[in-house]
Amino acid sequence: MDNLRLIEKYNYIPRLPIEIILNSLNGTQLGNVDGHKFYNLISEVTARKDEIMVIYLKKCFLPFSFYLLSDNRKNNKLDITEKKTDNSTNSYTITIPDGNYNINELLSKIKSLMESASTFSFKYTITFDSSTGKVSFLINSGTTPLNTVLNFSTGTNINHNCHNLIGFSNIDITFTTSSSAISDLVIDVADGFDGVHVKSNLVGSNVITTETGDSGSSELLVVPITLEPYSILYYSELGNPFRHRIAQSTIKQIEIKLVDSSDNVIDFNGLPYTFILQCEFVFNPLNTVTTDTFNLESKDKLNQQVKTNQILARRILENQNKQINGNNGNLKKKQK
């Protein structure tokens, strides 16, 4: 078997890799957000019978034009219940406009929206402590205020609220005119957005990877976010890329899906982005070895049958010789 592999590999004619350039302007959008598209290649990329294809993300150019807080990311709402001393209540939801905020801008926007929606004329003091990274809420004034509840866990938007951004766990928080509500966590205005996760239909099994590789997933790579909003995120592989072995032998259409850490498709707000994939061709002995293995098994069976027949033939000859020798002995006795 090893000899067969060596012979086939010796006869294999290597090919240079192929670069596949995908520009979002040439893709067809899937769904309502432009971070999910498919691309039809001008010409088909095909592996020979003695090859497999290995693909990886070589370079990409992504505009940081997406919003860290948005309806698309499901983190732009806050459910609130205000209560007066007569136990009357006012419940409402604020929707924070999509955008990229620093913490002070975000708290200012939340304060403005809460006060505008309050039918009890409640006014709020919302502050950020830069030394601890935590946020506090306090009722400043209003019409006989008793308390206000931030309904992080019981509101109608429990899966769509902004609690992570302002440092709160997903539990209801109550505060008054004298007792503030202080976040139990530190703020995260990126809401866990650690990088752009590049997913594709091409991903097979990950055969060469760094320590953080995710073998067998649909993920080509995670492009880290290291710049401020409205910059260009540039990625270039540095000699140890994720390489994915492709199950199919041809590539005609490629699907690319760009998501955040919660698998929400990213909205680039219409700005173009570009990927450069590299497709390499690697010797694959499996097809020929499979055939040869079958032939070898057939030869082994034939050789075994020949050996069996030879053993039977020897036994027959031995029996015949015994009979001949026995008959000769009887004739000699009779002659005496």
- CA 321, CA 315: separation in Å to the nearest integer? 10
Band (3; pLDDT cuts 50, 70, 90): very low
* Structure tokens, 236: 């270039």
Per-residue buried b or exposed e for 226-248, using 16+ beta carbons within 10 Å of the residue's own CB: eeeeeeebebebeeebbbbbbee
What per-residue confidence (pLDDT) applies to 210? Answer: 42
* Structure tokens, 257: 């899906």
Class of domain 15-68+193-280: mainly beta
Question: Does the pLDDT at position 105 exceed 50?
Answer: yes
Which tens digits make up the pLDDT trace of 244-273? 888 888 999 999 999 999 999 999 999 999
Question: Does the pLDDT at position 276 exceed 80?
Answer: yes
pLDDT-above-70 percentage for the chain? 79
Question: Does the pLDDT at position 293 exceed 70?
Answer: no
Of the two residues 14 and 152, the one the predictor is more confident about is 152
Band (243; pLDDT cuts 50, 70, 90): confident
Which tens digits make up the pLDDT trace of 200-239? 988 765 544 444 444 345 888 899 999 999 999 999 987 7
Which tens digits make up the pLDDT trace of 107-144? 999 999 999 999 999 999 999 999 999 999 999 999 99
The interaxial angle of helices 2-11 and 286-335, nearest 10 deg, is 140
pTM of the model: 0.77
Residue 227 contacts by C-beta under 8 Å, 6 or more apart in sequence? 64, 233
Of 3-7, 52-56, 283-287, the one with minimum mean pLDDT is: 3-7
What per-residue confidence (pLDDT) applies to 246? Answer: 86
Question: Does the pLDDT at position 91 exceed 80?
Answer: yes
Which tens digits make up the pLDDT trace of 42-79? 999 999 888 889 999 999 999 999 999 999 999 999 99
